[in-house]
Amino acid sequence: MRETPMKNGTAIRIRYSYSSPEGLLPMDSFMMTSFLPLVRAGESLETGHGITYRAYMESIQSLIFKQWDLFAEALAEQGWDRGQNITEIVLIAEKHGSDYHPARVRVVTRNRLFSFVVNVALTERGKERADREFHTLLQLFGRFGSRFVPRVYFLDAVGFCSTNGQAGTMTMFLGDWLERYYEFHLSAHGKDGSPRTVIWDNDLGHGFVSSREAEEIFRQAAFILTHYYDTRTFEEIFPWHHASGDFVVGRPDGLIDAKLIAVRQYARRVVFTDDSPENAVTALLLFFANLTLRMRLDRFDGVGEIAWAGDHCVEGTIRGFLDSLQRKAHEGSCDHFFPGHVMNLIRAMSPGELAEVFSAVLESYDKNAPDMPVIRAHVVDHIHKVYRILQELPSFW
């Protein structure tokens, strides 16, 4: 614990902690001198490694006070009264990925608590992603607001020195942290090890959800991705991965509520020579097929072998896609008749015609990607499942 003086003469207490299955734990001297895991198991280290938790936490603290005016503006946007003293800031190491090492920033006043995330990038690939993602989130906020993705505030770089004496920089950006929203992943269940969805609730404990709740999670995830799909320009959020924890789930008022917290890119995946109505339909069909496939992919417990979600995932995905299209038409972001036209076209397709759409999507995938063997093993059954669900939809679609 340490104190940092402010311009008005007051001091803010700073504490360093980390998240664990047992809750928040203080960082002791042993952990402060331990190294951050910069890469996943089996990957090679870049030069300049040897970054301790102390250097990591002190760099995040430096960012906050270096950009204090912008940080105060972010606090004010969350409802902070500038006349109210901040009594404590808790920096919490959360997790470590291949690109980011996110930390939670908990700001405590007399009667309020405010939470942010600082996404920290240490590798060159991570730094490039951080810069791109920050500006993409700003773009989406300007076009769509912050309904489904976090608000971001500022991006900066802070210098550090590794244990081998090599100087470097950490690229970081500040965004809103969603309290009581957690990752979810497929996990083996029962004697047969069938994949079922687990929410990583650090407050109530990790637990399996019902098939109906899992279907609702996938429905909302599909709704969000379709919400950001532009039916006129064909721009979309891609890539996204369940295994990376890109989506999180909360239960405000006991109801499932999904959010998207990572956006690597927002661009066209399909390019045509003209933006004709026919091409708009084709682009949406390709988006739909890709959505149904990718929504089923995860890694067991987030880090294990490739996992394939059960059929309830398909039902939820299709409902989310169609619900979002209808909302687009209602809000005027696409032609009022477009959802019905697309739905009639999809339902009129034979299994063979539907398979041609999926085949075109598979051609765009990296043939050496680790999830390709799993996709190939399930894609035929998947297409038949999609076909059956489409045929069983009520006529009002």
pLDDT in tens, 118-145: 999 999 999 999 999 999 999 999 898 8
The pLDDT of residue 8 is: 53
In a 3-state reduction of DSSP, which class is residue 212?
A: helix
Quick: pLDDT tens for 57-98. 999 999 999 999 999 999 999 999 988 899 999 999 998 888
The pLDDT of residue 43 is: 43
The pLDDT of residue 49 is: 56
Q: Give yes or no for a contact between 203 and 22, defined as CB atoms under 8 angstroms apart.
A: no
The pLDDT of residue 4 is: 60
Q: Can you give the residue ranges of every domain in the chain? A: 8-176, 181-392
State residue 340 phi and psi, 5-degree precision. -65, -40
SS3 content of the chain, % helix, strand, coil (to 5): 40, 25, 35
CA-nearest of 139, 150, 162 to 78 is: 150
The pLDDT of residue 41 is: 44
CA-nearest of 186, 199, 205, 206 to 304 is: 186
CA-nearest of 106, 250, 253 to 183 is: 250
Which residues, 6+ apart, have CB-to-CB distance to 217 below 8 Å? 184, 197, 209, 247, 249, 256, 258, 316
pLDDT along the chain (397 residues), means of 10: 55 91 88 80 46 94 96 95 91 89 95 95 94 96 87 95 80 95 92 90 83 97 97 94 94 92 93 85 96 98 95 96 93 85 90 96 96 97 96 69
CA-nearest of 318, 96, 164, 139 to 230 is: 139
